[in-house]
Structure 1
Amino acid sequence: MTVTETLLELEDQMWQANREGDGGFYAEYLRNDSLAVSKYGVMNKAQTIPVISANHNPYVKTELSGRQVLVLDDDNAVVTYKVDVTAVVQGNELELPSYASTVWNRTGGEWRVVFHQQTAL
């Protein structure tokens, strides 16, 4: 599997984990010093895992499009795309599209998220 294929698959798994409240995925794949920036603010790994585990992001659908992978070197890459999110908030379905970028780093043969950023549209 190529770096591009691997990282696109991991991005899909990350969004699935988000929808399912699977904090275990984030515990495994976020580097200890990782950061995420979104409309919810800046969160580190320790803050992210409980939020995901409690499923505070009630996403029922996430569709990624326009995905691109910029391989910086053998162990670093950036994945960018548009994500169309459908969330249920107070019983109502809301469309929450964003542009997103994830910086991945491979250490010891394992890919980990260093940084993830979302810009709401």
Structure 2
Amino acid sequence: MAFVAVVLLAYRLGAIPESSDVVVIKEQLIKLEKQSWEAWKNRDGKFFQDFLSDDHVEVGFGGVSNKAEIVSFVGSPVCTVKSYQLNQFELKMLDKNTALLTYREAQDTVCHNPVPSPCWVSSLYMKRGDRWLNVLYQQTEIHK
């Protein structure tokens, strides 16, 4: 019973968005995530300059990277993205300004060697001002 009271209080204080708000947030973040994949495919580093937070961290197959490294890497001709598929999106609101988007991706990408695929993705967003920014991105290969 105490748990129910805490959850109700959190909703009243606005710590957790109401369900209709969560649906809108999920749609916004899925749209941003899909735009980031198109930007990755098109080597659009400028998109990532605006999409990533200044304190962004990416945990990938090559290790840990920061925003500047990602922007430079995406804009370079090192990788060729032939195709990708994104599905099974789930959203977990951690508070009203922090959201964890998880999903499955499969891609046909070569960066000297084929990129591991398919993967589960964790993409953490924080609302800063009036914008959702990506603060953490991580992939885990799905072993077949």
Pair in the same fold by TM > 0.5: yes
> Is 1:61 equivalent to 2:106 in the alignment?
no
Residue 56 of structure 1 deviates from its aligned partner by 2.5
Residue 23 of structure 1 deviates from its aligned partner by 0.4
Q: Which one of 36, 47, 51 corresponds to residue 29 of structure 1? A: 51
Gaps of 5+ in 2: 1-22
Whole-angstrom CA distance in 1 between matches of 2:33 and 2:115: 22
Q: Please show how residues 1-121 of structure 1 align to structure 2 within 5 Å.
A: 2-88=24-110, 96-121=117-142
Amino acid of the residue matched to residue 128 of structure 2?
T
Whole-angstrom CA distance in 2 between matches of 1:70 and 1:41: 25
Whole-angstrom CA distance in 1 between matches of 2:75 and 2:82: 15
Whole-angstrom CA distance in 2 between matches of 1:108 and 1:8: 19
Structure of greater relative contact order (alpha carbons < 8 Å, 6+ residues apart): 1
The 8 Å contact of residues 78 and 111 in structure 2, kept in 1 or not, is answered as: no
User: Could you say which structure has the higher helix fraction?
Assistant: 2
User: Could you say which structure has the higher strand fraction?
Assistant: 1
When the two chains are superposed, the root-mean-square deviation of aligned CA atoms in Å is: 1.9
Whole-angstrom CA distance in 2 between matches of 1:95 and 1:39: 8
The 8 Å contact of residues 104 and 121 in structure 2, kept in 1 or not, is answered as: yes
Whole-angstrom CA distance in 1 between matches of 2:127 and 2:106: 27
TM-score by length of 2: 0.76
* 1:83-119 deviations in Å (ceiling 9; x for gaps): 00112466x9777211111000001110101100011
Whole-angstrom CA distance in 2 between matches of 1:94 and 1:44: 19
Q: 1:40 to 1:108 in 2, by over 3 A?
A: same
Q: Percent identity?
A: 28
TM-score by length of 1: 0.90
Q: 1:74 to 1:43 in 2, by over 3 A?
A: same
